Amino acid sequence: MKRSSVIIFCVFVLVSTCCAAKVQEAPKPTDVAARVGDDTQLEINKLALLTGTTEQMRVMAADKMLQSKDPRVRAMVLDVLKSPENAEARAAVCKVLSLSRGSSDSDIPHKEHFIEPLLATIKEIEHPVFPMAAEALLIYDYNTVGLPIEALAGDVSLDVTVRLNAMEALKLRLDKRAPIAMIRLVDDDEPKVSEAAKAILHSIPIPVGNSPADRDRIIDEMKRTSKDEFLRDWVFRQDERLQAERAEVEMLKRLFKEVLQKHYTQADTSAREAILLEHLKAPQSFRNLWAIDQVYRWRTQARTELPDSLTPVLKSLISDSNKMVRLNAATQLFYIVKIDSAEVLILQLNKEKEAEVRIKLFAALGEACRTALVEDGVPDDIKAKTLAWAAKFLAQSSADQVVKGADVISRLLEKNGLDEKNIDTYLGLLKGRFEQESEGNVVIKRNLLRTMALLCANPSGCKKQARSLYKPIFDKCLEDKSPLVREEAIQGLVSIDKRQTLKVLRTKLVSDSNANVRVRVILLAKDEGTPEDLDWLHAKIEAGNEVDVAWQAVLMILSRSDVKHLEASYARFTALRTQKKLTNSQWQGFLEVALVKAKDRKKLLINVHQAFCDFSVDTGALEQAREHLVKLAGLVDKSRRAGIRAQILGLELKSSRIKEASDILSDELKVRDLNESDILVQQVNAFLADTSEGKDPRAVLHSVLKEMQATDARPQWEKVRSVWLSKDVTVPEAVADTNSPS
């Protein structure tokens, strides 16, 4: 309504002016037009200043009028400044005057005209405009306005409010005479004036002194200080004061958060929800940030879903004035956002200036779309806006933004969220962006390759188009100078065809200069390798390169291949063990695979059991060695069984298994005599000769002989036995049988 009135009035003024011009003697047409235009603009500016609906409108009008050299305009502005009825118009004039500080006089002509009405505002008891008038007075030097203000502050006949206004105006002056005047007012008879003077001096800060004499000394010192020294000291004091205030504020924040955290920790779930809502909605940023941090902890540590009531408040915080609040709110929204939040995220994305926050907002938007694709789908308009933002991010030079743009495109493409035309468009965008980095940013290249690989993988909804478009890129990148790029190229080809990729890599990258690339090839051989790969894997192990991962690949290939390949390679892998190029665990793994594969190959099975027995003895697993010997005895022909039985006897003696050892000897003596050349006797002699474990083997043997049952006459055995018993040894009452029940 106001706007309509202004327009009607302006038209009326224009018509009236034109009509009046016709009655007078006809001047030149150009003069008439200029005068009419000036008068019209004057009325428009005056109306805007007096009745403008916004501060910006009133300030613009005041600026135009203050720059005018027309005396009529100047008179209008002075009338406005003197009139207490229109505080908003007066404030606009004061603001323009204040903003002119430091500019040349030509901007606002005759600034001196405004001194009297500005000083007059100090005397107003009701002073809504005074603070802005006090700032406007700063355009004048101290001699011009500072001294009159001092006089007002010291005039005891004036109302105390007027004096306090004057003191506030002096507080703004960067002139040593202002604090000197304030020091004098400390001893004023009016308590309010005295206290205000002390408070102002404390805020500067300048010492107040404990007595009039102290204050006189302070004034004398200040008078001796030059203007530059005063300003330098003033800046230093202000900086010190600000630092102290900041430190105090931070301490109070810390104490507040400590108390709040204690209260929050002791609260139950419903109370915690209420506390978080209160502080998420608080006007202070530090409280918002504390609450957002608790949201993160609830989500990651409490292992329960966040209350639904928190999501709308978090969404509102992504448009907060504080960057860190926006950033942290967007970060948490990523984990809880749903598609109904997409519009809010897009709206803030359009306004957000901080790149770091934009990335988090966009990430949350992408996640909202991804989850919606899995559930109910993404509305077409949201999808289009999201993809448009993804394309913007993809086109940036920042790696973080490019990666995030590619990630969101991948999410929408992978879940079959686009039609054929858009699929081709956005697959092409990824390809084009990669080609821009042919010799550029490795981080961008590897991440784009990773995205392409995901789109080529089996779960992808656009794998057919992606494979056709990206395979040539993967092939070419196998030759890239960066190993990071080569690694991702391998993964890209693997996502298309593992077996075919391995065929290519056997000839290209088995001996790559980078260990990570070589390992990627070996890992592929572990998954897809065939006996054809055993040769180059054996060579790597023999050379001591990537032994652990290469050996794992060998075992996997052997375990899924025909046993004939194990038979063919058994000797050379056994040689690696002999050469000490395989660890105990690696060799044990090989023997375990061989044991499973050799179950139908008797000769191989015998060799494996014997190797397992030797390995078990070497590693002290005597019970395991005995088990393999027992199984071995059932596989070999009669001519070898005696030797195996002798090995078992040796293990029983070594394990101090008295009864088991005596049973073996007793069983043999039931069927035959044993002389000194018998393999069992030789095994006992070998045991007696071995003192490496710190035990006296004769004590074990004597316990075995004592345990043995009587047999028929065995002259040769008695002769051997008498030799063993003739040795000077104390036979204990019993030797511990480590494998017999107590």
What percent helix, strand, coil does the chain show, rounded to 5? 75, 0, 25
Percent of the chain predicted with pLDDT > 70: 91
d(CA 526, CA 548): 12
| Mean pLDDT, residues 560-566 | 91
Domain map (residue ranges) of the chain? 2-232
Q: Are 76 and 92 in contact (CB under 8 A)?
A: no
Residue 733 has pLDDT above 50, yes or no: no
390: Cα within 13 Å, side-chain hemisphere: 26
Q: Confidence class of residue 531 from pLDDT cuts 50, 70 and 90?
A: very high
C-alpha of 99 from chain center: 43
Residue 611 corresponds to which amino acid?
A
- The CATH code for residues 2-232 is 1.25.10
At 413, phi and psi to the nearest 5? -75, -40
- Are the CB atoms for 409 and 365 separated by under 8 Å? no
pLDDT at 106 over 60: no
Q: What is the 3-state secondary structure (H, E, C) of 63-78?
A: HHHHHCCCHHHHHHHH
Exposure on the CB side of residue 450, measured as CA atoms within 13 A: 14
Q: In this structure, what DSSP letter does residue 146 have?
A: I
Whole-angstrom Cα distance, residue 608 to residue 595? Answer: 6
Inform me whether the pLDDT recorded for 736 exceeds 70: no
Asked if residues 67 and 48 have their Cβ atoms less than 8 Å apart, the reply is no
pLDDT of residue 444: 94
- Which pLDDT does position 153 carry in this prediction? 93
Confidence tier at 205 by pLDDT (50, 70, 90)? confident
Reported as a single tens digit per residue, the pLDDT across 124-157 is: 877 678 889 999 999 999 999 999 999 999 999 9
Residue of 316, 394, 333 lying closest to 368 (CA atoms): 333
Answer whether 299's CB lies under 8 Å from 332's CB: yes
C-alpha 621: how far from chain center: 49
Worst-scoring range by mean pLDDT, 325-334, 345-354, 544-553, 705-714?
A: 705-714
* 183 CB-contact burial (10 Å; exposed 0-12 / middle 13-18 / buried 19+): buried
Give residue 38's pLDDT band: very low, low, confident or very high (50, 70, 90).
low
Among 33-47, 431-445, 721-735, name the one with the lowest average pLDDT: 721-735
Three-state DSSP class for residue 466 = helix
Is the separation of the CB atoms in 65 and 77 below 8 Å?
yes
**pLDDT tens profile 666-685:** 888 888 899 989 999 999 99
Whether residue 738 has pLDDT greater than 50: no
Beta-carbon contacts of 33 under 8 Å, excluding residues fewer than 6 positions away, are none
**What DSSP state is assigned to residue 532?**
G
Tell me the whole-structure pTM to 2 decimals: 0.61
For residue 100, give the nearest of 91, 109, 87 by alpha carbon: 109
Higher pLDDT, 653 or 8: 653
DSSP 514-528: SHHHHHHHHHHHHHH
What does the block give as tokens for 313?
């408040």
Q: Between 170 and 634, name the one with better pLDDT.
A: 170
**pLDDT(62) > 80:** yes
Give the separation between CA 323 and CA 330, rounded to whole angstroms: 11
Write down the H helix ranges in 529-583. 534-543, 547-560, 563-578
Residue 635 C-beta-side C-alpha neighbours within 13 Å:
19
Q: What per-residue confidence (pLDDT) applies to 707?
A: 87
Judged by average pLDDT, the poorest of 17-21, 88-92, 228-232, 649-653 is 17-21
Task: Say which residues have a Cβ less than 8 Å from residue 4's Cβ, sequence separation at least 6.
Answer: none
Is the peptide bond prior to 205 cis by the omega test (within 30 degrees of 0)? yes
Q: What are 388-429's pLDDT values in tens digits?
A: 999 999 999 999 999 999 999 998 887 766 778 888 999 999
What is the pLDDT averaged over residues 350-376?
88
For the segment 267-274, the average pLDDT, to the nearest whole number, is: 91
Long-range contacts of 538-544 (CB under 8 A, 24+ apart): 538/569, 538/572, 538/573, 538/576, 541/576, 541/581, 541/582, 542/576, 542/579, 542/581, 544/581
pLDDT score for 440? 77
Average pLDDT, stretch 534-541? 91
Confidence of residue 103 (pLDDT cuts 50, 70, 90): low
Question: If pLDDT is split at 50, 70 and 90, which confidence band does 739 have?
Answer: very low
Q: Summarize pLDDT for 475-498 with one digit per residue, the tens.
A: 999 999 999 999 999 999 999 999
Mean pLDDT of all residues in 639-658: 87
Q: Give me the pLDDT at residue 710, please.
A: 72
The pLDDT of residue 714 is above 50 = yes
Q: Which residue would you say has higher pLDDT here, 470 or 637?
A: 470
Binned at pLDDT 50, 70 and 90, residue 29 comes out as very low
Averaged pLDDT score across all residues of the chain:
85
Percent of the chain with pLDDT over 90: 46
